[in-house]
Amino acid sequence: MYWRARMDGPDYPWGYRWRSSSAFVIFTCILALFTETFLYSFIVPIVSYMIEIRLHLAPSQTQIYTAALLATHGFFSILAPPIVAHFADKTSDRKIPLVVCLVFCTIGTFLVAFTPSVWALFLGRIIQSIASSASWIVAFSTLSDNIAPEHMGKAMGLAMSFVSTGIMSGPTVSGTLLELAGYWAAWAVPLTLLCMYLAARLVMLERPRVGKQKDRCTAQKQDRAPLLPSQPNTGDSQMTSSRGFYRIILSDGRAIVGLLNTLLFSAMLSAFDSTLPLHLRDVFNWGSLPAGLVFLTIQLPGPFLSPLVGWLRDRVGIRYPTTIGWIVVSLLLWTLTIPGQIGFEWASPDQLGKPMFVATTIGFGMTIPFVRGVALLQLMSESNPGVVREISAKNPSIFGSHGATSKVFSSVEIAFNVGTTIGPLIAGSLTEMLGFTYTNSILATIALGVGVFSFTFFDHKPSVGNEDDKDQV
């Protein structure tokens, strides 16, 4: 075959050309991210079946166990990333950690699916949570290691579009398959995704990391160096400074606002899961199928628009796209409250209410690519410039010999998981106390505030030397 003739040989393994290509790396990492977020939300519509039918518990306990399962997942998703990132940054090989994460995630998924007992259900959810968080960090780190900096915006935009698609599509798929095909037919989907993910990761080949090349150069220099060093060893200082990563990052306003973007983005998506179905039932008398189609309108535009948004970010930076995105999101959140509201007879369910609501959700789906993935770019991009890269350029040893890539994604993972944990709790409580209209108005105000912070703190520095777009991501 072509790649065997050209790329295989004593120095290249079989299929090196396509196995190490940027396209295959992106596919593998996106599959990992989609699978993990899909698993997070997949359980929501079928947890009542698991508790009442498989565990034979009273229906009155369903709400308690459902909340406990979601809270357990959120807690360990917040707790695990710093520990995972600490060890991930100490290894130059991403393959073994990712495969280990996948194996544990599969074990946890089987425990959750079989639900032999309450303790096994919670244990499986805990294993799922920790493995998913670790897989998230390692997948993003792999993506960062293997994608050219000038194309990072497009790659991250595409990746985050599938992250949100996984969150939004999980409940739709599980609920539909449970109703139409049965319990195990529903679980066949995430288990198939895990198998595809494992196969792709075993096939994928990573390109040599810059850190490895530097280590080899350093070793060669040490072979020629005198036995007694002329300067004191800085290993201890590097280790100490590496421990201060989170303190350094959280003292920078740009990093805080970037993480705030991610937190609000995930909180909004998860809030929709807890508020939209009930609102659609109350206002339009829509059941699960029409509600699922509404969620589909939010999902569909992302994969198509994210590369375009990434292209725009690579050229003009993230300040203006993010600011405009949050302003539009704020307006759309407020617009969602109009259909069916008293005082807007023209937007009643019998007139323009239904098409107006659907058109607004489509607009929301077209806008969210502008506000997702911001934290990663603000921290890691070379063109904005990224906070971590800027700090590392001034002091290369400040984050240790292997850098802080995994710690960056750990920070983003924590912010994302905090959002998915508090989003349903806050939105659900506010909707119960104040109603859907006031809840969305509060979210719209917060979104507008984040837009102002983004304009104030983010840099506007377009990419340099990025005119040639003939190279693919």
Q: How far apart are CA 311 and CA 155, in angstroms?
A: 9
Q: How far apart are CA 193 and CA 130, in angstroms?
A: 18
Picking from 83-97, 226-240, 291-305, 344-358, which range would have the lowest pLDDT averaged per residue? Answer: 226-240
More reliable by pLDDT, 406 or 72 = 72
Which pLDDT does position 75 carry in this prediction? 78
DSSP 409: H
What token pair was written down for 391?
């700090």
The CB-side HSE value for 342 (13 A sphere, CA atoms) comes to: 0
Which pLDDT does position 359 carry in this prediction? 93
* Domain 13-207+245-457 class, CATH top level: mainly alpha
Is 242's pLDDT higher than 60?
no
With a pLDDT cut of 70, the percent of the chain lying above it is 77
What token pair was written down for 72?
């357990």
Is 32's pLDDT higher than 80?
yes
The number of beta carbons lying within 10 Å of the beta carbon of residue 39 is 24
Residue 201 contacts residue 105 (beta carbons within 8 Å): no
As a whole number, mean pLDDT of residues 255-278 equals 86
* Domain chopping of the chain, boundaries: 13-207+245-457
Q: What is the DSSP code string of 273-324? A: HHHHHHHHHHHH---HHHHHHHHHHHHTHHHHHHHHHHHHHHHH-SHHHHHH
Report the 3 state secondary structure along 91-156: CCCCHHHHHHHHHHHHHHHHHHHHCCCHHHHHHHHHHHHHHHHHHHHHHHHHHHHHCCHHHHHHHH
Q: How far apart are CA 88 and CA 98, in angstroms?
A: 10
In whole numbers, what is the pLDDT of the chain averaged over residues? 77
As a whole number, mean pLDDT of residues 307-334 equals 90
Please, which pLDDT band fits residue 388 given cuts at 50, 70 and 90? confident
The region, left, alpha or beta by phi > 0 then psi within -120 to 50, assigned to residue 15 is: left
What token pair was written down for 366?
């077209």
More reliable by pLDDT, 75 or 223 = 75
DSSP 209: P
As a whole number, mean pLDDT of residues 373-386 equals 70
More reliable by pLDDT, 16 or 393 = 16
The number of beta carbons lying within 10 Å of the beta carbon of residue 232 is 8
Residue 258 contacts residue 378 (beta carbons within 8 Å): yes
As a whole number, mean pLDDT of residues 229-246 equals 49
Please, which pLDDT band fits residue 333 given cuts at 50, 70 and 90? very high
User: Which CB contacts under 8 angstroms, 24+ apart, belong to 102-107?
Assistant: 102/32, 102/131, 102/135, 102/194, 102/197, 102/198, 102/201, 104/130, 104/131, 105/36, 105/39, 105/131, 105/132, 105/135, 105/194, 106/191, 106/194, 106/198
Q: How far apart are CA 280 and CA 137, in angstroms?
A: 36
Alpha-carbon distances, residue 350 vs 56, 249, 332 (angstroms): 43, 52, 21
Q: Which of 108-122, 203-217, 218-232, 261-275 has the highest mean pLDDT?
A: 108-122
* 260-270 per-position pLDDT tens digit: 999 999 888 87
Q: How far apart are CA 336 and CA 295, in angstroms?
A: 14
The single-letter code of the amino acid at 149 is P
Which pLDDT does position 217 carry in this prediction? 45
Is 468's pLDDT higher than 50?
no
Which pLDDT does position 410 carry in this prediction? 77
Phi and psi angles of residue 352, each rounded to the nearest 5 degrees, phi first: -100, 5
Please, which pLDDT band fits residue 90 given cuts at 50, 70 and 90? low
Which pLDDT does position 209 carry in this prediction? 53
As a whole number, mean pLDDT of residues 226-246 equals 48
With 0-12 CB in 10 A as exposed, 13-18 as middle and 19+ as buried, what is 56? exposed
Contacts of 449 (CB under 8 A, 6+ apart): none
The number of beta carbons lying within 10 Å of the beta carbon of residue 250 is 12
* 402-445 per-position pLDDT tens digit: 556 667 777 887 888 888 788 877 887 788 788 888 999 999 99
Q: How far apart are CA 325 and CA 366, in angstroms?
A: 10
Q: Is the peptide bond before 385 cis (omega within 30 degrees of 0)?
A: yes
Torsion, Cα of 79, 85, 87, 90 (10° steps): -170
The pTM score is 0.67
Which pLDDT does position 385 carry in this prediction? 55
Is 13's pLDDT higher than 80?
no
Please, which pLDDT band fits residue 470 given cuts at 50, 70 and 90? very low
Which pLDDT does position 225 carry in this prediction? 44
Please, which pLDDT band fits residue 401 given cuts at 50, 70 and 90? low
Q: How far apart are CA 29 and CA 415, in angstroms?
A: 20
Q: E strand or H helix at 79, and its extent? A: helix 62-88
Please, which pLDDT band fits residue 255 given cuts at 50, 70 and 90? confident
Which pLDDT does position 227 carry in this prediction? 40
